[in-house]
Amino acid sequence: MRFVIQQVSQATIDITTQTETIQRSIWTGAVVYVWIGTEDTDDYQSKIEKFVRKIQQVKLFTWSAGKIDASLLDNYGELLIVSNFTLYSRNKKGSGVDYTQSAPFALSKEIYDKLIELCHADNIPVITGEFWAMMNITATNQGPINHIREY
């Protein structure tokens, strides 16, 4: 699993469905882009559990004296978690892009939903995008501080 984590002072996601546009927002926290690769489908439970433990405690935020020394818990931060299959893209010959390293849709959605469920169960303030929907995300990235994690 691949995660791109961006420290934000605010973020808004607009989700366009066939009938409406839904808007969700967070303030201080992180936008997390996640995708599941083909190799992640066997033992995904331990990978998402590890992510949920780490995202709360890892030092991602600037707290004092310009040092990155605060966690999501220290900051009372929120998460905006968004599925993003392009995190496993590869360039083909020329300008083509290959997404075959991404896990199949149904299994990816199941794993993504389980990740969200575990965040809620661990009392992490989280909002989400909609799996496989058209989404527009506006975020104020602080720092900019970005982290890439793979489990």
The alpha-helical segments, DSSP class H, found in the chain are 44-57, 72-75, 105-121
Please tell me the total count of domains within the chain. Answer: 1
Q: Which positions ≥6 away from 121 have C-beta within 8 Å?
A: none
pLDDT tens per residue, range 22-74: 999 999 899 999 988 888 778 889 999 999 999 988 888 877 777 888 888 88
Domain that holds residue 133: 2-150
DSSP string, 82-107: EE-GGGG-EE-STT-EE-TTBPPHHH
Q: What is the CATH number of the domain that holds 79?
A: 3.50.80.10
- Token pair in block for residue 103: 């896990």
pLDDT tens per residue, range 89-129: 667 677 777 767 778 888 889 999 999 999 999 999 999 98
